[in-house]
Chain A
Amino acid sequence: MLSRRHALSALSAIALATGSLVTAAPAAELQKASLRLKWLPQAQFAGFYVAAAKGYYKAEGIDLTINPGGPNLLTENLVATGADTFGLSGGTDSVFAARDKGLPIVCIGVSHQITPFIFVTRKDGPVKTIQDFKGKTVTTWFTGANHVLNGMLAKEGIKPDELKIQPQQVSVTPFVDGNVDVVTATYYNEFYTIQSRMPKDSLKTFVAEDYGITFPRDTLIVAEATAKEKPELVKAFLRASLKGWKDAFADPKGAVDTVMAAAPTLDRAQQEFMLTEVKRLMTAGAAAKNGMFWIDTDAVRTAHDFFLKYGVISKPVDLAAAYDASFIQSVPAADRLP
């Protein structure tokens, strides 16, 4: 503790001396706010970058900083402590877990209306149905996708210990090399990587929705205090973000340009693929009728009951407190529809 404080004071002295901390205060009456993403800049978040680039947040009176995420960085945590105003967090599962642990956050919108994860295997391999997962090696992320897998197995009456579930590394190479029978992928990222290295028609996918399970992901969250004290800020943020997303879908190439201005080393083809897939995920299900970032209470409740049943959360979560649809509903329906 002592050394840290020493370090802090010593370093701030240096930083002040070199002037790196001295930033000009904005003159306008713009309200400062930040959005913490769940990951580094990529087309998955195109709408927010477009809205920022086109000045939609400024037009709503918000001076928005977009902060990327990273490994071991939990959006819920940063929003709960007030380090960031808005957050695009893991998904319904992480919102439940956060509420379960007493983090004062509220979900104000759901981005991916359907499960973004799929399970991929080789068409000519030994796995034809979910029942064939038994005894096979399945890799998955323990960041939420594992719940989807467990849910699908449970629906088919398979116990998790009947197969070898292993943590999945950042690379899909073990699957491509044939060392793993079933691999987890997101529609928008790993599935693209796999397809770039194996022909698409050699792959078979298992989709959660086919087994009656939906885990909506990529949730927009704010701190309870923000929701209570600054409802206008939250609404303004949603209006600007929606405009950005609509523009991104109307002009995907331009949106990818904007994203790649923030992260120039990205692969353009992959980003365009990602944006297409993200559009599908964001406009599926209830969003087709009600518009983007819609909170589908039925889907949320189903997911909640599932997590409760399998002990992901320790006690029932007050859904009305955890998910507040009033903000997204305040935006006119026409502005929500893509």
Chain B
Amino acid sequence: MSSPAATSLVEDRTATRSIPVPLRKLARLLLGLAVAAVIWEGAVLLFAIRPYYLPRLSTILMAMAATPRAYIDGFLRTLAETLIGFAAGGAFGVLMGIVFFRVRALREMIFPIFVVSQTIPVIAFGALVVLWFGNTLLAKAIIAFYLTFFPVTVNTLLGLETVDPKQVALMRSFGASNRQLLLRLQLPTALPQIFVALRLAASLSLVGAIVGEWFGDTTGLGVLLLQAMFTENVVAIWGALLAAALLGTGFYAVVAAVERRLVFWSAEQ
């Protein structure tokens, strides 16, 4: 029971999957990183770039190693905020997508409000976020949630809408219930779309967590970034940027891996 779209996608995936052995892939990744590091270091030395514009990578790494606790604590705190925001936003987004798909009246009433809510720059009222939620982990997670749920809702809805009505009719003729229809046909068909949004959401929830930390907090990568920005400590800016890049790339890779697994799996049934 696989739609044409799903089959084609699976073939695509298995094709890319068969090329790299995990170990070789890792080696290639490390090699790539090493090359990038050498180019960075070399370019700064060779072209005598002023450290104010781009410091040497080794300088940045040494600065990070000098105060490892700050970066580790910041990393963990930001990670926690990101994960909570992502999980809540993803779940809420899929749920609202399904609800809007099923109940047209609700979609027409609430979807416009969702759209409007996304046009509000959260940073504009940081004070309100602190007023309402305090300086808690929750406040940051809520901002991450706020940035995350909308793309997931949109893509879930869009994915559900692409289901072939003929297939629905076919399943109905076999007596499939709404629930079966949803779990067996509609969600699997929508899954690739949903994952596009989830990968975006992975990045957005990190944005939310970091921006959330700008409203007066003590730990987190956003705090490190802000502190460095305003003391014009370029080395520390890059240190925080690298830590954020590590977090973002790692999280994104995890979501992408889950995507490969799930999309692959659902089609094998």
Contacts and interface: CB of A to CB of B under 8 A. Distances in A.
| A–B in direct contact per CB < 8 Å | yes
Interface of A: 2-4, 6-8, 10-12, 14-15, 20-21, 36-37, 39-42, 67-74, 77-78, 81, 83, 170-173, 189, 193, 197, 262-267, 270
B218 A265 contact: no
A interface SS class: loop
B226 A7 contact: no
Contacts, number: 119
Contact of A11 (B131, B142, B215, B233): B142
Contacts of B236: 265
A264 B69 contact: yes
Given A12-B138, A78-B127, A265-B71, 14 more contacts: A7-B88, A10-B91, A11-B84, A21-B136, A41-B227, A70-B126, A71-B126, A72-B123, A72-B214, A77-B127, A81-B131, A265-B63, A265-B227, A270-B231
B230 A15 contact: no
A15 B114 CA distance: 24
Contact of B137 (A8, A15, A69, A70): A15
A170 B230 contact: yes
A229 to B, nearest CB: 21
A2 B110 contact: yes
Contacts of B146: 4, 7
B130 interface: yes
Contacts of A39: 230
Contacts of A10: 88, 91-92
A291 B164 CA distance: 79
Interface in B84-126: 84, 87-88, 91-92, 110, 113-114, 117, 123-124, 126
A83 B130 contact: yes
B131 A83 contact: yes
Contact of A68 (B134, B145, B218): B218
Interface string B223-237: 110111111110010
Interface string B126-149: 110011011111100110011001
B188 interface: no
B82 to A, nearest CB: 13
A263 B71 CA distance: 11
Contacts of B218: 41, 67-68, 262
Given A3-B114, A68-B218, A72-B123, A264 B145 contact: no
29 contacts: A4-B142, A6-B92, A10-B88, A10-B91, A11-B84, A11-B88, A14-B88, A15-B141, A20-B80, A36-B216, A40-B230, A67-B216, A68-B217, A68-B223, A70-B215, A70-B226, A73-B127, A73-B215, A77-B131, A78-B127, A81-B131, A170-B229, A197-B52, A263-B227, A264-B67, A265-B67, A265-B239, A266-B227, A267-B233
Nearest to A81: B131
Contact of B232 (A15, A41, A193): A193
